[in-house]
Chains A and B, each alone.
Chain A
Amino acid sequence: MRILTRARCLWSTLIHKERLDRDLDDELDAAVAELTTRYIAGGLDAHAARRAALHDLGALHDIKQEVREARLGAGLDACLLDLRYAWRRLSNAPGFTAVVVATLALGIGANTALFSVVHGLLLKPLPYQDPGQLVFVWLNRNQVGYTRGPMSGPDYRDLRDRTGSFADVGGIWATTSVTFDGGSEPEQVRSAYVTTNFFDLLGARTVLGRAFVAADASSAEPVILLGWDLFQRRFGGDPAIVGSAIQIDGQATRVVGVLARDFRLLLPPDASVPAYLQAFTPFWPNLENGPRRNLFMRVVARLRPNATLTAARDDVAAMAVAVSREIGTPRSFTLAGLQDEGVRDIRAPLMALFAGVGLLLAIACVNVAGLLIARAAGRAGETALRVALGASRLRLLRQALVEGLLLTMLGVVAGIGVGIACVRLFVALAPPSLSRLTGSTTIDLQVLLFTIGVSACWGVLFSLAPATEVFRAASRVAPALASSSTRTAATPLRYRLRGTLIVAQIAMSMVLMVGAALLVRAFDRIIHVDPGFRGERHVTFRIAIPGRLETREAVNDFVAELQRRVRAIDGIIGGGAVSHIPYDDLPNWALPYSLEPPIAPDAPSADTRAVSVGLLESLGVTLLEGRLFTDADRDPVHPVVIIDDLLARELWPGRSALGRPLYARMNHERATVIGVVKHLRLRSVIADLSPQMFVPFSIAQRNPIAFMFATAGDNPAALVPRIRAAVASLDPRVPIYEPRPMQEYIDQARSTRRFTMVLASSFALAALALTSVGVYGVLAYAVAHRRHELGVRRALGADTARIASAVLREGVGFALAGCALGTAAAAIAGELLRTQLYAIEPTDLASFAIATVVIVGGASVACWIPAWRAIAVSPMDALRWH
């Protein structure tokens, strides 16, 4: 009540400062007038009377100043006094304050940052209209090992026309690129085909022009929709571009609109739709009647307002059964909420990390509580003295609370800084699943409030620890005064409590450390996985095959010449063309194959890539049988194919695959196996064991075409300008785009695991540091309290080794107890990480051993200073105390 009144007065004092000042002036003028009247009545003339009145009042200016201070002080005094007192106490112990603030900053910062990520990915709705209604639809090809694959045009039509659950269904295929010919420099941009309703379905806005309309699908004139970035960069943000025709791929193409600046394409990471697409064109007109075997469309649907996902699944399943019967092959679909699907692979590790960072916060809080208890105990004498002098318990409690809150607030401020730095780090580690976070690297308001809420709670909690000392002191004024408690041995109860806290802390650190060790070891396995090729020194780029090259042979000649010129560059030692760069986020080819013609519609499919002569050699693949491609393999009528050992074993177990016919759906279906290579992990570093086929680029061309060239040096990117020049020397109108070292793709493929590992390791190291501080704190406290005892023991002849080892034994005892407890907890918690591990079990003994050694080592180091102090106690100290 009083506090509220004060706050209100203080508020009005500050807000109505001018009015209050005027009021005060008036009041003092009135006083002068009153006194002057009296002096005049007493017989003075007006002038003298006024002078006398002013003399009586004193210096008006000083009075005003004092009144102002009084008003301010009345509002502030109590709180300000407590605050000032707290500040003084904290700044008198800078080491203590720094440790506590750093501890809190670490706990709060890491939590805020991770919560920002969790909030941004898992909780915050996607930036689309009614995002809860959006579902992603996959074609379930379980029979060939893919439960989540793209679908054909007719499948899309079935979903739209033969189900009742969807308000609308849209599709996208990010396969192609377009060349902007107009202007000074031709430029190539990745683009996607979309159904004309795609952007309306998402509720995406255009800032200029319009999104596609149904008529665009069949319009004679090509149309294009631009992303904001491209519009700004290439067209300087000129609105006149909308509605006008620009040259794209040598054709006059009308720009219908520009998407809003904040529009982002956030489809699941494995949907092969990159988030940065900037140009969109409608699908070709006969899309929905195309062959069912052409699987490429990624489909997003919007549920009707009253439909549920479960009902839609049943609805779609019923439709799929009917369609399967009609077409004679099984068809089935997988439906998932768009948002859930987007975080499918990152949700589990994020939740595990969230649990981990929660443990870190708990450790930090226990640490701070322990430090505050020690400090309050050290002050028991002072507190007792103040109680004896009449300080009310309420006052002491309030001071403890203010001190705790002040510490917390310092921690919060530092923590926000740590949090912002952490979020930057997370985004820099950038797994594709986190791409949604880029651009919003700041901590949002909700997250900030969450942090302040959590820390305010902890602030109160921390303050309770010293508060117990207040009551302890209050109940034992006399004994505490009689012998200032710093001289007595630590009370067994209090010491046991701190011991328990320390053991709990070590146990929690152990859980984090085991988790981190597991992830580090799994990542180490992943790094050392042999992908079957060496691409670390390759540089990659793409070009679009110029439209003027109309025949297959012309394209082959162009590619061969380009390859020849680039290979002539000093520093390039090999390489060639490939249809799909490993680990890229563009759609792959999956071709059905069979030993006998015809190829059944539900035939299994193999990951297929077209490679030019020299590419496989430059990747250092292991040739198990036969030979690699040569310039002679250009015959499209009798095509040749190279397969991996998985496919060879599957089709011809125990026999040679060489020379055998394989029917694959290419230009001509019968191909001859000329070579078998060891499986290449090209799609994923970890979980890629689907069979592979390689076909000569000369007979299976893809546009745009990618190149991978091996370099001799350590910096493949440095050669990009020379490659650009070499390509320009061949055709100045063919720009190279997306030049990237292969290593970037490799890093990208490992990034989710790396993200989890780096974070978990950071948390574990932070936990180790905090716990070591905790162990140090409790032992230093114990040693300080036993100076007298230690001195007596020294005086009685105990040697330094014995005393030091007593202290060390105590610390290591805590550590071992904590590790034992932590091992049990980690054995249970390890299951959480199972999906994130690779080639090791959650019960991996080595990880537990490493964690134990690190924790016990850290604790021993932390024991060393107190042990050294214990040795340094001289026997004379014991005598001087009394």
Chain B
Amino acid sequence: MAKRQADIVRGTLDLLVLKTVALEPRHGVGVADRIAQITGGTFKVGAGSLFPALHRLEQDGFIAGQWSTTPEGHRAKYYHITTAGQRKLAADKKQWARIVLAIGQVLEAD
């Protein structure tokens, strides 16, 4: 299968962002890099989706932003996951597993 960029399945961006910042605090560009890196470039998150998602998650209290300095010496806003975010991540992971299973069953049943 040719390597193509896939649209991020609707509603999964939050899950990806949470998962990404759960490992270690990252700034916006860092989150995008990490998602692209892990999926081997399959998912490329544009700034127009990423920043609103970050802020929405921050607004909801799932992640929290803090200004800090990058290794290169720039100032950047680093996001880390909160306790509420961890709970949501666990719940969303389970939900995702169910969806994958269900879709898999649908596709296999013929």
| Chain A positions near chain B (C-beta within 8 angstroms) | 5-6, 9, 13, 23-24, 26-28, 30-31, 33-35, 37, 56-59, 62-63, 66-67, 69-71, 73-75
Contacts and interface: CB of A to CB of B under 8 A. Distances in A.
A40 to B, nearest CB: 11
Contacts of B77: 23, 26-27, 30
A63 B53 CA distance: 11
A705 to B, nearest CB: 80
Q: Is the interface of A mostly helix, strand, loop or mixed?
A: helix
A13 B76 CA distance: 21
B60 A70 contact: no
A26 B75 contact: yes
Nearest to B50: A63
Contact of A37 (B52, B53, B61, B74): B74
A70 B14 CA distance: 13
Given A26-B77, A30-B75, A31-B27, A74 B48 contact: no
Contacts of B67: 26
B28 A70 contact: no
A74 B29 contact: no
A23 B67 CA distance: 10
A33 B47 CA distance: 14
B46 interface: yes
Contacts of B56: 70-71, 73-74
A631 to B, nearest CB: 96
11 contacts: A13-B59, A24-B55, A26-B67, A31-B28, A34-B70, A34-B72, A34-B74, A57-B47, A63-B48, A71-B56, A74-B59
B90 to A, nearest CB: 17
Given A6-B60, A9-B60, A74-B56, A62 B76 contact: no
A27 B28 contact: yes
B27 A70 contact: no
Interface in B43-84: 46-48, 51-53, 55-56, 59-61, 65, 67, 70, 72, 74-77
Nearest to A20: B55
A37 B72 contact: yes
A23 B75 CA distance: 12
Nearest to A56: B47
Given A27-B27, A58-B48, 9 more contacts: A9-B59, A24-B51, A26-B77, A31-B27, A34-B29, A37-B74, A58-B47, A67-B55, A70-B56
A45 B30 CA distance: 23
B54 to A, nearest CB: 8
Contact of B55 (A5, A33, A56, A71): A71
B50 to A, nearest CB: 9
A6 B65 CA distance: 17
A42 to B, nearest CB: 14
Nearest to B54: A67
B76 to A, nearest CB: 4
B91 to A, nearest CB: 13
A5 B75 CA distance: 28
Contacts of A37: 72, 74
Contacts of B55: 24, 67, 70-71, 74
A67 to B, nearest CB: 5
A30 B76 contact: yes
Contact of A5 (B46, B61, B74): B61
* Residue of B48, B55, B72 ringed by the most chain A CB atoms within 10 A: B55
Contacts, number: 73
A62 B46 CA distance: 12
A59 B48 CA distance: 8
Contacts of A66: 48, 51-52
Given A31-B27, A34-B27, A67 B70 contact: no
A30 B48 contact: no
Contact of B51 (A13, A26, A28, A75): A28
Contacts of A5: 60-61
A769 B48 CA distance: 58
B70 to A, nearest CB: 7
Given A9-B60, A30-B77, A70-B53, A63 B47 contact: yes
Contact of A75 (B28, B59, B72): B59
A644 B95 CA distance: 98
A35 B70 CA distance: 12
Given A26-B77, A30-B77, A71 B59 contact: yes
Contacts of B70: 34
B47 A9 contact: no
A28 B54 CA distance: 12
Contacts of A23: 77
Given A27-B77, A57-B47, A58-B46, A35 B29 contact: yes
Contacts of B47: 31, 56-58, 63
A131 to B, nearest CB: 52
Contacts of A56: 47
Nearest to A53: B29
Contacts of A6: 59-60
Contacts of B51: 24, 27-28, 63, 66-67
Contacts of B28: 27, 31
A69 B52 contact: yes
A66 B52 CA distance: 6
A59 B46 CA distance: 11
A249 B46 CA distance: 93
Interface in B25-51: 27-29, 46-48, 51
Contacts of A69: 52
Contacts of A24: 51, 55
Nearest to A72: B59
A67 B27 contact: no
A97 B21 CA distance: 49
Contacts of B61: 5, 9
Those 6 A-B pairs whose CB atoms lie nearest each other, nearest first: A70-B52, A74-B59, A70-B56, A57-B47, A30-B76, A66-B52
A62 B60 contact: no
A574 B75 CA distance: 100
A75 B59 CA distance: 7
Contacts of A31: 27-29, 47, 76
A43 B29 CA distance: 20
Nearest to B28: A31
B59 A30 contact: no
Contacts of A67: 51-52, 55
* Residue of A57, A59, A62 ringed by the most chain B CB atoms within 10 A: A57
A59 B51 CA distance: 12
A28 to B, nearest CB: 7
Contacts of A74: 55-56, 59-60
Nearest to A75: B59
* Residue of B53, B59, B61 ringed by the most chain A CB atoms within 10 A: B59
Contacts of A75: 59
A143 to B, nearest CB: 81
Contacts of A62: 48
Nearest to A37: B72
* Residue of B46, B70, B77 ringed by the most chain A CB atoms within 10 A: B77
A74 to B, nearest CB: 4
Contact of A34 (B48, B52, B76): B76
Nearest to B57: A74
Nearest to A66: B52
Nearest to A64: B51
A75 B48 CA distance: 20
A59 B47 CA distance: 9
Nearest to B46: A58
A81 to B, nearest CB: 15
A15 to B, nearest CB: 14
Nearest to B76: A30
A33 B74 contact: yes
A687 B71 CA distance: 98
B38 to A, nearest CB: 18
B18 to A, nearest CB: 15
A35 B32 CA distance: 12
Interface string B2-34: 000000000000000000000000011100000
A30 B74 contact: yes
